[in-house]
Structure 1
Amino acid sequence: MKRLTIWIGCMMLLTTCIDRIELDESLSGEPLLVVDAVITNADEPYTVKLSYTSSSLQTYEGEELRGAEVFITDEENNRADMSEVDAGEYATDPDFFCGEVGKTYTLYIITPDGRTYASLPESMPEVPAIDSIYFELESRPYESSIGTILDEWGLQFYLNTGSGDNQTGYYRWSWMETYEFIAPLTTPMQLNIPVCYQSGTQTRYLNIASTQGLSRDRIERQKISFVAKSGRKLQRRYSLLVKQYALTERAYTFWKNVQVQQENSGSVFAPPPSPIPGNMYNVNDDREVVLGYFQVSSVTEQRKFVKRSEVPAGPGGSPGGFSECIAGDEEAADYCYDCSLLIGTTTETPSFW
């Protein structure tokens, strides 16, 4: 029972949207603390998200840990306090604290009921710059609504990176995409055609790699994201912002184990996998299991723009999207004429555009 609870908690940590899953009402267990924390050398607030797994295993949903005292110390006993900015979410003040490469940090959490948790000391390794981000026109199979396997064409983005030194590098990547588009239809009296922008990030995907076993710290053709031509993302202009984090070997091992469980978890009715050891513990009770990881990483980023003229027309046809918007169709949705009516859309041009 305890192992199943731990497994569910780890899955909670990795997903940005939570799926409800019904389990036997007789299954229950003690709530476990889940810590989701990353600090970097970027000049920005750092956040720590604290929650508990549900005591009943009927769902993956947990409860936020509110009212905790949360702070970070370095090896010189300097302390950075964090304030609760949302339910269970605590943030640093960027005017008073910024991570530094080479320093070692420890996270402390004191709950309202007096329990004290701490991380193992984590050092911040130096991250090399991203050499290049590029794309290639590729296809990947997908299953149609009638069960037929078809090819979906699009741009597969890759990156090259590494210090080139004779040492092992450990990396993790995240990315944010932003794209510009317009609605495909106009009315006879329409004078203004809005230009729209949408942004999004990856979910449910953990992208890590290391140069362990290689002669030098060099990574080439690391897959980042795939953008299909069939959608509207490549209609006018597309931006991909990639963030690269340098990990310690301990942090990489943790995320690698999580990745393996993601790929091999299978059915919830299969024997649960073993708990993944993190770097958080109860100071006064080493028997208590704490889920999650306090990640300390230096970070670098690079942005790649793609214009429509750079996207090959074939195979896969030209990009554009809005296949549901047909000229002359009296039942065409309003957003077919005004893209700003789509949820999550803005007409304000991004500052980096």
Structure 2
Amino acid sequence: MKVLHYLSFVLLWLAFSCVTPYNPDTQSLDSKLVVDGNVTDQPGRSGINLTLTTDYTVTGLNFLVTKATVYVTDDRGQRISYRESTGGNYQPVDANWKGQVGRTYTLFVQTTDGRQYQSTPQLMRAVPPIDTLYYEYSRKPGVSSQTVNKGFDLYIDTKDPATPGDYYRWRWKHYELINYCRTNEVQQGPSTVIYGFYCCETCWDIEQCYGCNNTGADTRINGNKIARQPIMRIPYNSTSRYYVEVEQESLTPDAYQYWNTVSQLTQNNGGIFDATPVPLKGNITCTNRTGELAFGFFGASSVSLKATFVDRSKAPDTPDTRIVPIVPPGPLTPCSRCVESPFRTQITPRFWKY
């Protein structure tokens, strides 16, 4: 028996000692430019966001592209210069500038390392106005069988023109008037207390759906009404009014193809019956380095803008709980500045009523 135990031990030791961990070599790919932006016929709503792809071993967001030279030209030779407003985000130098329906626009970018990029020309097509903007309260199953998703579904109605070949994209932006411009979490025993510091000036938080690709085409409904087009689901976590602006954009055929492909790729969940991934080809090319890849899309869109206040106080239900900061105890603390950014602003929203 002792001999058998000894042999078993030796065999086990040999088996495990012969296993060599496999650490595959990883290849780092050069960072590639990613462009996300467009020109619109609304002042203050044209912008270009520039980032660089990261190695797949790096967790987190793409790197921002700063200090680039960015400008747009139209088919009449006009040049519109852009400047960096926040990291990687570029806006027209003339804040009141806006594009025109019927004009064609091309983007040019030069990074600090000398790489030059250009988009394909994009024609700004007209877009019909949003007729109505409305919402309905509903309860839906939550993430688990024990929870309920309470909220308001926001819809629009619009009338498609009689001409065929119209393409749309819908986006939304929520502004919330805030009291606190800075918060601080403090551990007090087993609990975490969130202290809030008042804003020094009137300030709004900005929330929008990054990565949402809500697109449509008039292939089957040309010239008819587009009814109950879903826009977003508004959370029921307060009885206060919820302010939201909805943009209805016109798209060129290649812009629609791009964003529709993005939507298909993001909706696939990896199941065995999912469609085979399709190549995501944008409209940006590097003009001074052969074979240099670039990603993303630059477009030109006419925009119909409509806003509403969702009156959440009339919901036949109680709102979900929401953590509200408290003012720190003790002497009066200094206020915190409302720093202008894509996520916060001191500028009163366009349709704000209060």
TM-score by length of 2: 0.71
Distance 2:87 2:322 in 1: 41
Distance 1:273 1:262 in 2: 10
Equivalent residue letter for 2:167? Y
Structure 1 partner of 2:311: 307
- Give the % identical residues: 29
Give the one of 321, 326, 329 matched to 1:334: 326
RMSD between aligned residues = 3.7
Q: How much does 1:208 deviate? A: 1.6
Q: How much does 1:227 deviate? A: 2.3
What are the residue-to-residue correspondences of 1:134-283 with 2, within 5 Å? Answer: 134-144=134-144, 148-178=145-175, 199-216=206-223, 218-229=225-236, 231-232=237-238, 235-264=239-268, 266=270, 273-283=277-287
CA shift digits 1:224-263 (9 cap, x unpaired): 121243x11xx13222211111111110110000111111
Q: How much does 1:172 deviate? A: 1.2
Q: How much does 1:27 deviate? A: 4.0
Structure 2 partner of 1:40: 40
Equivalent residue letter for 1:214? I
Distance 2:310 2:275 in 1: 46
Q: Secondary structure at the match of 2:263?
A: helix
User: Which structure shows the bigger proportion of residues in strand conformation?
Assistant: 2
Q: How much does 1:204 deviate? A: 3.8
Distance 1:134 1:250 in 2: 30
CA shift digits 1:275-298 (9 cap, x unpaired): 411111112445322100001101
Structure 1 partner of 2:64: 64
Q: Secondary structure at the match of 1:262?
A: helix
Structure 1 partner of 2:115: 115
Q: How much does 1:76 deviate? A: 1.3
Is contact 1:45-1:93 (8 Å) kept? no
Is contact 1:175-1:240 (8 Å) kept? yes
Q: How much does 1:271 deviate? A: 12
Is contact 2:34-2:52 (8 Å) kept? yes
Equivalent residue letter for 1:38? N
Structure 1 partner of 2:94: 94
Structure 1 partner of 2:20: none
Give the one of 272, 295, 315 matched to 2:299: 295
Q: What is the aligned length?
A: 296
TM-score by length of 1: 0.71
Change (3 A) 1:121 1:136: same
Q: Secondary structure at the match of 2:72?
A: strand
Distance 1:47 1:345 in 2: 16
Structure 2 partner of 1:6: none
Q: Secondary structure at the match of 2:142?
A: strand
Q: How much does 1:150 deviate? A: 4.2
Change (3 A) 1:84 1:221: same
Distance 1:349 1:76 in 2: 34
Q: How much does 1:198 deviate? A: 5.7
Distance 1:96 1:179 in 2: 24
Structure 1 partner of 2:5: none
Change (3 A) 1:324 1:71: closer
Q: Secondary structure at the match of 1:143?
A: coil
Q: Secondary structure at the match of 1:216?
A: coil
Distance 1:275 1:66 in 2: 28
CA shift digits 1:74-109 (9 cap, x unpaired): 111111122233333322123574211110011111
Equivalent residue letter for 2:214? N
Change (3 A) 1:201 1:24: farther
Structure 2 partner of 1:9: none
